[in-house]
Structure 1
Amino acid sequence: MSPTALLVVAKAPVPGLVKTRLCPPATHAEAARIAAASLLDTLDAVRRTPGVRPVIAMTGDLGAAAGSAELREALRGWTVLGQRGGGFPARLAAAHADTAAEHPGLPIVQIGMDTPQVSPELLAEACEALGIADAALGPAEDGGWWVAGFRSAADARLLSGIPTSRADTGARTLATLRAAGLRVATLSRLTDVDVMDDALRVAELLPGSRFAASLPAACALPAATVPRSVPGHQGAADER
Structure 2
Amino acid sequence: MAASNNRKTIVVFAKAPVPGEVKTRLTPFLSEASAADLHRRLVVHTLQTITQLTDCFIELWVGSEHDWWTELAERFAVPVYRQRGNDLGERMSYALDKALQGSKQVLIVGTDCPDITPQYLQRALDSVEQQGVVIGPADDGGYVLLGLSQPMPWLFNDMRWGADSIFATTVARMEEKGVSWFELQPLKDIDRPEDFIRLQQLRPNLTEGLSVNGT
TM-score normalised according to structure 2 size:
0.89
The Cα of 1:166 is off from its aligned counterpart by 1.1
Q: After the TM superposition, which segments of 4 or more aligned residues of structure 1 sit over 6 Å from their partners?
A: none
- Structure 2 contact 9–103 (Cα < 8 Å) conserved: no
Percent of aligned positions with the same letter in both sequences? 26
Q: Deviations over 1:104-141 (max 9, x none)?
A: 14211111010122111111111011121020011101
* 1:5-60 Cα distance to aligned partner (Å, 9 max, x none): 11111111111211121111211111100000001000001111231110111112
Mapping of residues 18-97 of structure 1, within 5 Å: 18-63=22-67, 71-76=72-77, 78-97=78-97
For the residue of structure 1 that corresponds to 2:130, the secondary structure is: coil
In the alignment, does 2:165 pair up with 1:168?
A: yes
Q: Partners of 1:31 and 1:219 in 2: how far apart? A: 11
Aligned to 2:211: 217
Q: Does the 8 Å contact 2:93/2:152 carry over to 1?
A: no
The separation in 2 between residues aligned to 1:212 and 1:81, in whole angstroms, is: 28
Q: Distance in 2 between matches of 1:9 and 1:21?
A: 18
Q: 1:21 to 1:12 in 2, by over 3 A?
A: same
Q: In angstroms, what is the RMSD of aligned CA positions?
A: 2.1
Deviates more, 1:105-114 or 1:135-144: 105-114
Cα distance change, pair 220–205 in 1 and its aligned pair in 2 (3 A): farther
Question: Within 5 A, what are the aligned runs for 1:137-216?
Answer: 137-152=135-150, 154-207=151-204, 209=205, 211-213=206-208, 216=210
C-alpha contact 2:8 2:103 (8 A) present in aligned 1: no
Q: Which runs of no fewer than 5 residues in structure 1 stay unpaired?
A: 222-240
Could you say which residue in structure 2 is the equivalent of 1:8? 12
Alpha-carbon offset, residue 72 of structure 1: 4.3
Q: Is the 8 A contact 1:40 1:74 kept in 2?
A: no
| C-alpha contact 1:138 1:145 (8 A) present in aligned 2 | yes
The answer (yes or no) to whether the contact 2:9–2:59 under 8 Å persists in 1 is: yes
1:100 corresponding residue in structure 2: 100
Return the offset for 1:220.
9.6
